[in-house]
Amino acid sequence: VSAALNVPAIMARKGGDPLVCLTAYTTPIARLADRHCDIILVGDSVGMVLHGLDSTLGVTLEMMILHGQAVRRGVDKALMVVDMPFGSYEESPEQAFRNAARLMAETGCEAVKLEGGASMIETISFLTSRGVPVMGHIGLTPQAVNMFGGYRVQGRGTAGETIRRDAQAVADAGAFSVVIEKVPESLARSVTEDVAVPTIGIGASPACDGQILVVDDMLGMFSDFRPKFVKRYGNLATEAEEAIASYARDVRSRSFPDESHVFGDDEPLGDRKAG
């Protein structure tokens, strides 16, 4: 609730200045993102990006709470949203409420996100009528990877009609915004024109009301994952590896630590200022 950007303010951006959204999982990245973003999402992508899982299916509520707490300490301007992980909301609206309430109470996030279209109407309306703002997520929904058989583009051809209905259903049920993932530009454009709430695209064209990316993808934190919809704004994996290689060389050659890192017998206790 500390957000300067609250849910109504985000909704008011429909058709206006694009919403800048990014994921974060840790305090230092959340602090940086908070200076530039409107929405910070603690995505369940954390399982793949930071924990080495090969899908988001193994992510738990406890993981989301722990990373949510870390992100909360870095965010005070943007709206903070936390993903509901697989298995924490699909069973019933009551289950969803119980777990959404835990996420909000234990992390201090302002909203939750859950995947699914028409099938989630009842749950979204149950949550939103009880004080839990919900961000929807349609198109490619990674928690359903086993139904899709992979992470392919969704909504091509006649399948677009289903996604159009999903978007409308999620908005009508009370979601304050909806993520649209990996669909053709034409579909993203018509969905954005049709629904009354902001659409947040990922692999869904600039026609959306906002954009989101996984922060580690856009920073280039690893070198082996390069989906078409990600633009790399950094190359941190290369920089980190060079730093680690230099450290290893220095230790092996005994050139680190040098005298500037060593304590004498009569030096005052404690660390010097960084630098």
Relative orientation angle of helices 93-107 and 61-72, to the nearest 10 degrees: 30
Neighbour tally for 169: CB within 10 Å? 21
Measured over the CA atoms of residue 166, residue 169, residue 172 and residue 173, the dihedral's sign is negative
By CB under 6 A, tell whether 30 contacts ligand KIV: no
The interface partner of residue 154, options being ligand KIV, Na ion, none and the CB cut-off 5 to 8 Å by kind, is none
Structural contact between residues 158 and 178, judged by C-beta atoms closer than 8 angstroms: no
Q: What is the DSSP letter of 157?
A: T
- Catalytic choice (90, 91, 161, 181): 181
x-or-dash string of contact with ligand KIV, 208-237, rule CB under 6 A: ----x-x-----------------------
Q: Which residues bind Na ion (CB under 5 A)?
A: 43-44, 83
Q: Which one, 112 or 214, has the nearer CB to ligand KIV?
A: 214
- Buried b or exposed e, range 52-91, using 16+ CB within 10 angstroms: ebeebbebebebbbbbbbbbbebbebbbbbbbbbbebbbe
Segment interacting with ligand KIV, rule: CB under 6 A, options 38-46, 91-99, 231-239, 264-272: 38-46
CB nearer to ligand KIV: give 136 or 174.
Answer: 136
Specify whether the CB–CB gap between 74 and 22 falls below 8 A: no
| Gyration radius of the chain over CA positions | 21
Q: How far is the CB of 254 from Na ion (least distance, A)?
A: 46
Dist CA 195 CA 202 (whole Å): 17
| Binder of ligand KIV out of 30, 121, 179, 188 (CB under 6 A) | 179
Residue 44 annotated as binding?
yes
Output 65 or 256, the one with its CB closest to ligand KIV: 65
Has 181 been annotated as catalytic?
yes
Give the nearest distance from C-beta 267 to ligand KIV in angstroms: 47
115 annotated ligand binder? yes
Candidate ranges 42-50, 154-162, 223-231, 257-265; the one touching ligand KIV (CB under 6 A): 42-50
**Residue spans of alpha helices (H) in the chain:** 7-11, 27-34, 46-49, 61-72, 93-107, 121-128, 145-148, 159-172, 185-194, 215-218, 236-252
- Residues with a catalytic annotation lie at 181
Residue numbers in the known binding site for 3-methyl-2-oxobutanoate are: 44-45, 83, 113
| Sites of contact with ligand KIV (CB under 6 A) | 23, 41, 43-45, 83, 179, 202, 212, 214
